[in-house]
Amino acid sequence: MVLLVRCCSGPNRNDVLLAHFMNRALWIAQVLLALLFLFAGGAKLVVPVAEMAKQVGLPGMFLRFVGVVEVLGAIGLILPGLLGIRPGLTPLAAAGLVVIMIGATVITLQLGPVPPALFPFATGLLLVFVAYGRWQVTPHRAR
């Protein structure tokens, strides 16, 4: 009988604390990732196209497109949860940026040794954490 009462009495203290911790961890990851993508995307929008294309070996306009996507993804990581408007966009923004990081990892591996490719790979893993966390674990609530 005790098990039935505990099971049906709602979330226990540990569940609430875990959800609170996960919410904070997700917000920290979201803010840090948003800053990273604002910087990276902004740089792709400011640096001359010819210089970017020469460094990476990709078309300049494609790199501009990636810069726009990164800036929009950074905004999508923060604003929906902050404003409570369309909060389901946060995991979508994170998932879209995961695709960008998969491409960045592959291109970095093609250009040289493995260690430089670990940064976009780790960034992609953090984005997977945010996407899954905001989709399943502690989603934002609409206001």
Assigned domain for 2 exists: no
Would 113 be classed as within a structural domain?
A: yes
- Does a structural domain hold residue 39? yes
Is 132 within the bounds of a domain? yes
pLDDT confidence bin for 1, thresholds 50/70/90:
very low
**Contact at 8 Å (CB) between 62 and 120?**
no
The residue that leads in pLDDT, 43 or 3, is 43
pLDDT tops 60 at residue 12 = yes
| pLDDT score for 3 | 45
Give yes or no for residue 81 having a pLDDT over 60. yes
- Angle, helix 13-46 to helix 89-111, in steps of 10 degrees: 50
pTM: 0.87
Residues 48-70: what's their mean pLDDT?
92
Would residue 62 count as lying in a domain? yes
Count of structural domains, the chain? 1
CA distance 126 to 120: 10
Report if residue 54 sits inside a domain.
yes
Q: Tell me the pLDDT band of 9, cut-offs 50, 70 and 90.
A: low
**Whole domain around residue 114: which residue ranges?**
13-137
Q: Which residue has the higher pLDDT, 20 or 124?
A: 124
